[in-house]
Structure 1
Amino acid sequence: MHLPRRALLAAPLLLPGAARAQGGNAAWQPQRPLRMIVPFAPGGSTDVGGRIIAERLSETLGQPVVVENRTGAGGAVGIEAAARSPADGHTLLVATNGAFTLQPHLGLLRTVDPRRDLAVVSLIFTTDVIVVVHPGVPARTLPEFIAHARAHPGRVSFATSGVGTGTHIFTELFMAVTGTQMVHVPYRGSGQAMADLVNGTVQLMLDQPASSIAQVRSGAIRVLASSGPRRLALTPETPTFEELGFGAASAQSWGAIAVPAGTPAAAIERLGAAVREAVAHPPVVQRMAGAGLDAVGSTPAELEAFAAREYERWGQVIRERGIKVEPG
């Protein structure tokens, strides 16, 4: 799931929400505080990136942007809450790759379809994932870990922030590429998952740097590799999957701003301009980088084209791995 900044400039493939996002003018201004729904628990990349953008939007839009964490069902609770909100420009969703490229394949969203019920505004960040392990795991490099996991099929466990989340699907791809078989232990958000990795209840996690770098730096966990196209500035000594010969497992998470479908085009245009200004604002770029996030913006059309390609890639992974989410 590589995303070079110029890769967004592909021919657009518009989905219904994006089509409604085109046109209008920039005269719209919010008339009251805005609500930004983050569909995951505090502390992860989605929350961190959303809060950084919210602060800048509060400054440029002249209204407070209040962050609301609505967790549950791999992000589905927050997505559905946003999709059902009034389409007046005052509700924002920090949508992730899961909303547009994973959830539709998994049936986690039972009452809404993000591609129909949300209109995208702009990307706000991309981020790699890093492979982190408990220090008790007898491996100091990714090849050593893969050899260990292959020698003990079904005895190594991995944590994720929930069934069907990006960390889950990324790890399924990792197992497929590396020929390993591990036991999935899903959690409700990355915080508890990380806590159990630190205490040794589970052995491995593919996680965003924002929620794991502090534990890496303290020595509570060990980082073995990163998933992006280049080494992370936060851990420059850590090799990428590509460098280690596992480029087929390379992937990135991403976050974007979306609004309920039917939001006036003028509101989407104004919000999009404000978001793109925010991700180019040097203090925002610096804060994002400090959390392991690359600040990047897009037009709605560019984002829809990118999401369509991602939808096809991850749909294939989900089908081939037989990933299903039990009703509940």
Structure 2
Amino acid sequence: MNILRRLILGATLTLALPLPLLAAAAESYPSKPIRLIVPFAPGGSVNLMGRLLADNLSQRLGQQVIVENRAGAGGLIGAELVANSAPDGYTLLLATMGAQSILPFLTKQLRFDPKTAFTPIGEFASLPNVLVTAPDLPVNNLAELTAYAKAHPGELSMASAGIGSVNQMVGELFMLKTGTRFTHVPYKGVGPAMVDLLGGRVQILFANVPGVAAQVKEGKLKALGIAGGKRAAMLPDVPTMKEAGTCDCVVESWYGLMGPAGMPADLVDRLSRELRDVVATPAMRHMLAEQGAEPIQGTPAQFAALIDTESKRWSELIKEAKLAE
């Protein structure tokens, strides 16, 4: 084949390629900084997880991953921003159980469909939850708490970070499984809830282990049971709820990475692979362990299945407990 024929054939093949493929071939991803939307305010475990992930992904991708906090509505405002973004991999979401699998079933005002608005990329960490009480509450284990609550229905106040928060939902699950009844007192975040718990104005809180471990070790709070499949490394002496013989309540707050719906499969595969590689590094595992988190190397399919399972569980509980608007 002479040079002229090769040039003609090459031009013909190039013109036959779809424009998106031409663009992808001309520009390797990523060619500019990536936004990671953290749908909560700075401070707290979610924001910390987002910054850990952004720092480590930046090193892997060779482009800066910038954390952008978009707080409000329990994470739904940030999630909506990502749902309405271009599916080009430059706007990603730090996904949480509350925003993806709980709140959509509590409100009728949602402006996106959580089942179809996102592309799951992978789960990367989970945090166990623990039931803690004020130190002056006259109970020392879950059996005593359950007995006390049944003898005094509605008298114990259960704090939470707000309506639809994971704190509330773990408590609702506990009440359904044990036949107890607490009075739910929602706050605007875990911080104010903790202040009143430590001050004795409320008696119970279901919280992420890292958020209360220090107070438990100092004797300012009592930890009665881990809502997880195993004991927490930060509180090794606290039994799981199943070990305590009270209920098999396993609620681990998970963190994952998502993008808008319609992301190309090759881009999803790339980001998922990079995410798993980040989680596999000793540095990332060490940082997660310092936060009391369990590292997860999940695939897009596994993450999608987790979201479906959690959504079914919480939608059924919300219906049974009559919590929806």
Q: TM-score, normalised by structure 2?
A: 0.86
Contact 2:79 2:93 in 1 (8 A): yes
Contact 1:43 1:211 in 2 (8 A): no
User: Which structure 2 residues correspond to residues 183-262 of structure 1 after superposition, within 5 A?
Assistant: 183-262=183-262
1:140 counterpart = 2:140: yes
Indicate the residue corresponding to 1:46 in structure 2.
Answer: 46
Q: Secondary structure at the match of 1:115?
A: coil
The alpha-carbon distance between structure 1 residues 300 and 109, as it changes in their structure 2 partners (threshold 3 A), is farther
Q: Which residues of structure 2 form unaligned runs of 5+?
A: 1-23
What's the CA shift for 1:185?
1.2
- Tell me the distance in 2 between the aligned counterparts of 1:131 and 1:42: 25
Percent identity between the aligned chains? 39
- Tell me the distance in 1 between the aligned counterparts of 2:319 and 2:67: 35
What's the CA shift for 1:93?
0.9
Aligned residues: CA RMSD: 2.0
What's the CA shift for 1:108?
5.8
Say which structure, 1 or 2, has more relative contact order (CA 8 Å, 6+ apart): 1
- Tell me the distance in 1 between the aligned counterparts of 2:84 and 2:192: 29
The alpha-carbon distance between structure 1 residues 235 and 109, as it changes in their structure 2 partners (threshold 3 A), is farther
User: Which structure 2 residues correspond to residues 116-127 of structure 1 after superposition, within 5 A?
Assistant: 116-127=116-127
User: Which of these two proteins has the greater Rg computed from alpha carbons?
Assistant: 2
Deviations 1:73-116 (A, max 9, x none): 22212211221233221112111122332233222661111221
- Tell me the distance in 1 between the aligned counterparts of 2:241 and 2:43: 25
Query: Match for 1:86: what amino acid?
Result: A
What's the CA shift for 1:252?
1.7
The answer to which of 182-191 and 98-107 deviates more is: 98-107
- Tell me the distance in 1 between the aligned counterparts of 2:104 and 2:189: 20
1:264 counterpart = 2:267: no
Contact 1:128 1:228 in 2 (8 A): yes
Query: Match for 1:317: what amino acid?
Result: L
Query: Match for 1:200: what amino acid?
Result: G
Indicate the residue corresponding to 2:114 in structure 1.
Answer: 114
Contact 1:167 1:207 in 2 (8 A): yes
The answer to which of 87-96 and 213-222 deviates more is: 213-222
User: Which structure 2 residues correspond to residues 1-328 of structure 1 after superposition, within 5 A?
Assistant: 28-107=28-107, 110-325=110-325
Query: Match for 2:315: what amino acid?
Result: G
Q: Secondary structure at the match of 2:116?
A: helix
Query: Match for 2:172: what amino acid?
Result: E
The alpha-carbon distance between structure 1 residues 87 and 75, as it changes in their structure 2 partners (threshold 3 A), is same
Q: Secondary structure at the match of 1:215?
A: helix
- Tell me the distance in 2 between the aligned counterparts of 1:270 and 1:34: 14
The alpha-carbon distance between structure 1 residues 225 and 108, as it changes in their structure 2 partners (threshold 3 A), is farther
Contact 2:178 2:247 in 1 (8 A): no
- Tell me the distance in 2 between the aligned counterparts of 1:267 and 1:201: 50
What's the CA shift for 1:72?
2.0
Deviations 1:210-241 (A, max 9, x none): 32223223332221110111111111000001
- Equivalenced residue count is 301
- Tell me the distance in 2 between the aligned counterparts of 1:138 and 1:121: 46
Query: Match for 2:192: what amino acid?
Result: Q
The answer to which of 251-260 and 28-37 deviates more is: 28-37
Indicate the residue corresponding to 2:18 in structure 1.
Answer: none
Contact 1:191 1:211 in 2 (8 A): no
Q: Which residues of structure 1 form unaligned runs of 5+?
A: 1-23
- Tell me the distance in 1 between the aligned counterparts of 2:185 and 2:296: 32
- Tell me the distance in 2 between the aligned counterparts of 1:69 and 1:159: 25
Q: Secondary structure at the match of 1:247?
A: coil
Query: Match for 1:315: what amino acid?
Result: S
Query: Match for 1:209: what amino acid?
Result: V
Contact 2:104 2:110 in 1 (8 A): no
